[in-house]
Amino acid sequence: MASGIRYDSIFLGIKFGMSQKDFYTHCWELNKQGLILQGPSNLSVQYRLDTTLMRSDTYMWFYPDFQDGELNRMPVEFSYLAWAPWNPMLSSDSLLMDVKQLLERWYGSEFIYLENKDKTKKLWVMVMGNRRIRLFIKNASTVGADITDLYRVKNEN
């Protein structure tokens, strides 16, 4: 952030600083183009990544957080469509590496690996200017990503 360089682009034309109205309007347009759908229980946006981007068809679900009326954080979840407990090739460990490579291609930078002393918390982090991306395993089938605008964040957990 000391460089003063800003990276407001998140993905699919969604940007930090968008109002809720602009976000909904943009998603409505993406939906009309057939690029996105409503996610589970209508609580998220669903985007399907195909095998040209991932090892297996993958769902990406997202819904932003807004602070002072502006998009400041984008929590994202990824899961292979064909995931099953008996299919180790599609475990969250494999998915994590797929998502890591995808995001490195999208954002043009690399992640660094971090863990706490007792190795109970492990994640990959990428910071470019104001945009921080944290990547982690949520459970056996799901990888989480948290894309945050460090200029707009006030209170973090």
Q: Kindly state whether residue 19 falls inside one of the protein's structural domains.
A: yes
pLDDT at res. 73 = 97
Cβ contact 121:138 at 8 Å: no
Q: Does residue 6 sit in helix, strand or coil?
A: coil
Question: CA-to-CA distance for 133 and 76, rounded, in angstroms?
Answer: 10
Return the biggest CA–CA distance within the chain. 48
Tracing tokens 């964040």 back to the chain, one arrives at 153
The 10s digit of each residue's pLDDT in 72-90 is 999 999 999 999 999 989 9
- List, for residues 1-17, the tens digit of each pLDDT value: 556 789 999 999 999 99
Looking at residue 144, its pLDDT comes to 98
What is the predicted pLDDT for the residue at 2? 59
For residue 4, is it within any domain? no
The strand pair at 70-80 and 112-115 is best described as unpaired
Residue 133 β-bridge partners: 126, 147
CB 51 within 8 A of CB 80: no
Residue 38: inside a domain: yes
Question: Is residue 58 assigned to a domain?
Answer: yes
Amino acid 4: pLDDT: 74
Residues in CB range of 98: below 8 A, 6 or more apart? 54, 55, 58
Q: Identify whether 40 is part of a domain.
A: yes
Q: What is the distance between the terminal CA atoms of the chain, rounded to a whole angstrom?
A: 20
The predicted model scores a pTM of: 0.91
Could you tell me if residue 32 is inside a domain?
Answer: yes
Name the domain count of the chain: 1
Per-residue confidence (pLDDT) for residue 154, from 0 to 100: 64
Within-domain flag for 103: yes
User: Domain residues for 112?
Assistant: 9-149
Spans in the chain with pLDDT lower than 70 = 1-3, 154-157
Q: Which two tokens stand for residue 73?
A: 């954080």
Establish if 116 belongs to a structural domain: yes
